[in-house]
């Protein structure tokens, strides 16, 4: 083994984010979350039905705009961290973010009972879990050089 330091995300020898599949996955996921958040802000009544908790009137759908802002913020953070090559922060964000659909599913089950809409939320868990694995593998490779 050599004593040469491993390239960090900021070093000139690190690959740019558009050449790392895990970072591309994270950036595209971030873009998808920004789109989902914007959709929730623009059409909350439709989004509430797609979420699994249909609103009866516009004031009932105000929570959807809060959900949309949360989703949009997480998407913007994912894009920013990917562009900066901050793999550790992205891995943590995706890993912790994978718990959010469980809370969403618990709310849906409590209000409307179990149903097929839960599969969509379960797909988010799988998507974020896959992102977490890819990002942590990249982080380990950058840290250890293996």
Q: Within 10 Å of residue 90's Cβ, how many Cβ atoms?
A: 31
In the prediction, which pLDDT does 16 show? 65
CA distances, 140 to each of 23, 64, 77, 84 (Å): 14, 37, 21, 17
CB 48 within 8 A of CB 60: yes
Residue 120 to residue 122: CA distance in whole angstroms = 5
CB 141 within 8 A of CB 2: no
Positions of the chain with pLDDT under 50: 1-6, 12
Kindly state the helix (H) or strand (E) to which residue 143 belongs, with its residue range.
helix 118-144
CB 51 within 8 A of CB 67: yes
List the domain boundaries for the chain.
18-144
**Total length of the chain:** 146
In the prediction, which pLDDT does 32 show? 97
In the prediction, which pLDDT does 2 show? 43
In the prediction, which pLDDT does 109 show? 93
Residue 78 to residue 64: CA distance in whole angstroms = 21
Residue 68 to residue 101: CA distance in whole angstroms = 14
Each residue's pLDDT tens digit, 75-101:
999 999 999 989 999 999 999 999 999
- In sequence order, the 6+-apart residues with CB closer than 8 A to the CB of 65 are 40, 41, 44
Its pTM stands at 0.82
């Amino acid at each position: 083994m050599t004593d040469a330091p491993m390239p960090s995300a900021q070093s000139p020898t690190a690959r740019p984010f558009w050449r790392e599949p895990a970072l591309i996955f994270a950036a595209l996921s971030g873009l998808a979350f920004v789109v989902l958040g914007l959709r929730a802000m623009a059409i909350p009544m439709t989004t509430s039905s797609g979420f699994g908790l249909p609103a009866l009137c516009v004031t009932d759908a105000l929570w959807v705009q809060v959900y949309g802002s949360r989703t949009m913020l997480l998407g913007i953070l994912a894009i920013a961290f990917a562009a900066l090559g901050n793999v550790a922060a992205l891995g943590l964000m995706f890993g912790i973010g994978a718990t959010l659909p469980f809370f969403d599913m618990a709310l849906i089950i409590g209000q409307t009972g179990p149903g097929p809409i839960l599969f969509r939320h379960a797909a988010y868990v799988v998507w974020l879990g896959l992102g977490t694995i890819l990002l942590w593998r990249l982080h380990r490779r950058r840290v250890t050089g293996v």
